[in-house]
Amino acid sequence: MQGAIYLMQEGQLVEMREQPYDSEALLQQLLATHPHLLAGDQIDQATPRRWLLVSREAAVPDSEDSPGRWSVDHLFLDQDAIPTLIEVKRSSDTRIRREVVGQMLDYAANAVVYWPVERLRTAFEQRCANEGQDPQVLISDLLGSEDADGFWQQVKTNLQAGRIRMIFVADEIPVELRRVVEFLNQQMDPAEVLALEVKQFKSADLQALVPRVVGQTASATQRRSAGDAGGKLKEWDEARFFTDMRRQGLHVEAGIAETILQRLQERGVTVVWGEGAKTGAFYAMLYYKNARHSFFGVWTDGRIKFNFERMKHRPPFNDVEKRLEVLRQLNEIEGVNLSESAIEERPNINLRVVQDPQKLEHLLSIMDRYFTTALAAYDGEA
């Protein structure tokens, strides 16, 4: 029986009815374009999973020299470098009840033995080249740091340890598959097996996609949480960030950072917290019309770092003159003297440089203009 959801549009309640996908390929494309549909907040509520697409149709070898016997629909990595294999089927495909399980286990069993991390990295970089994206920028966005080599080394370590995730995706997960997933997820460690429903709802002119993770069991979730406790440092948050700054005696810098954070929140700019083992950070991220802008990051060592290196991959700041304009605005602040070469790099200044209220307000106004200009570019006004 098809369901319905209701959304408010221009003051009117609109009914949206559940609809099947026109094709399996459409659902696959949606996952590749919108990785948040993988519902990382449902998979791990304490530390929501964030996703990096390595490639679609990722080749899986069955021997040392094999170029690939099979291909998995999608290969993602999360922020802990855990390989996540995705198989997509529509509920109308009878293979989703039994055959797809054996298929996925074949992929996983061979991937952990025969997937050289160098091949995965090459596949990722090739995808980025095909799509005009910078692989370093994507990894930095995921991690909140620039340690790409360390990240890929962790991918290798996870594969060697069998620490992978398998997710079956469909518009509806049949009860037979759900039972198998729950059983496997209960028995397998450190591997994780999940199923994900992504239902589609439509009205005359609206579409909504609603993901729901199934197959998790409370005991398996608790076991993994306990196992993770002594591992990699979890991401920073506001309380921990400012406690650490003040512990270092950076009271002035902490006050400035709090003002910057407050302005970001008032402007509706997304704040992403880093995951550094020793140094914490938060980043100003603007998500709009499938675009992602990151102007700067603030660090617990009292620095603010400007992401010109990332700007050059996002319109309108892929125009050298636009980046130079931002640089000139920053250099108008007394005590800031960045060279023109900085528009290709990630220059930083000490937060104490803007401790004077007027200087800080100048910096905040530059931030406001940056995001306004970014938005205008995607609305065709820049």
pLDDT, tens digit, for every residue of 263-309? 998 888 888 888 777 788 999 887 655 556 788 999 999 999 998 98
Single out the residue in 171, 198, 228 at which a domain terminates.
Answer: 228
> Quick one: 85 and 64 in the same domain?
yes
**H helix and E strand count, the chain:** 13, 13
> Quick one: 218 and 300 in the same domain?
no
Joined together, the tokens standing for residue 368 give: 């406001």
Residue 289 lies in a domain: yes
Between 153-162, 219-228, 364-373, the lowest mean confidence (pLDDT) is in 219-228
pTM above 0.85, yes or no: no
> Quick one: 248 and 199 in the same domain?
no
3-state secondary structure 261-318: HHHHHHHCCEEEECCCCCCCEEEEEEEECCEEEEEEEEECCCEEEECHHHHCCCCCCC
Beta-bridge partner residues of 53: 76
Average pLDDT over residues 74-83: 95
Single out the residue in 228, 246, 280 at which a domain terminates.
Answer: 228
Q: Into how many domains does the chain fold?
A: 2
Residue 162 lies in a domain: yes
Instruction: Compute the distance between CA of residue 296 and CA of residue 284 in angstroms, rounded to an integer.
Output: 6
> Quick one: 245 and 148 in the same domain?
no
* More confident of the two residues 179 and 54: 54
Pairing of strands 165-170, 192-202: parallel
Residue 100 lies in a domain: yes
Q: Assess contact for 310 and 318: CB atoms under 8 A.
A: no
> Quick one: 74 and 154 in the same domain?
yes
- Name the one residue in this structure whose structure tokens are 């499938």: 290
Which residues constitute the domain of residue 271? 238-377
Q: State yes or no: pLDDT of 37 exceeds 90.
A: yes
Task: Report pLDDT digits (tens) over 1-16.
Answer: 467 777 777 777 788 8
Residue 233 lies in a domain: no
Task: Report pLDDT digits (tens) over 100-138.
Answer: 999 999 999 999 999 999 999 999 999 999 999 999 899
Joined together, the tokens standing for residue 292 give: 């992602």
Q: Assess contact for 297 and 304: CB atoms under 8 A.
A: yes
Phi, psi of 221 (to 5 degrees): -65, -45
* Alpha carbon 284 to chain centroid, angstroms: 14
Joined together, the tokens standing for residue 363 give: 């910096």
> Quick one: 141 and 245 in the same domain?
no
Q: State yes or no: pLDDT of 231 exceeds 50.
A: no
> Quick one: 307 and 219 in the same domain?
no
> Quick one: 34 and 146 in the same domain?
yes
> Quick one: 36 and 165 in the same domain?
yes
Mean pLDDT of the chain, nearest integer: 86
> Quick one: 128 and 45 in the same domain?
yes
Joined together, the tokens standing for residue 20 give: 């099947």
Residue 106 lies in a domain: yes
User: H or E stretch including 12?
Assistant: strand 12-19
Residue 147 lies in a domain: yes
Residue 11 lies in a domain: yes
> Quick one: 316 and 367 in the same domain?
yes
> Quick one: 176 and 261 in the same domain?
no
Per-residue model confidence (pLDDT) at position 91: 82
- Name the one residue in this structure whose structure tokens are 């937060």: 351
Residue 382 lies in a domain: no
Average pLDDT over residues 334-354: 93
Single out the residue in 178, 202, 228 at which a domain terminates.
Answer: 228
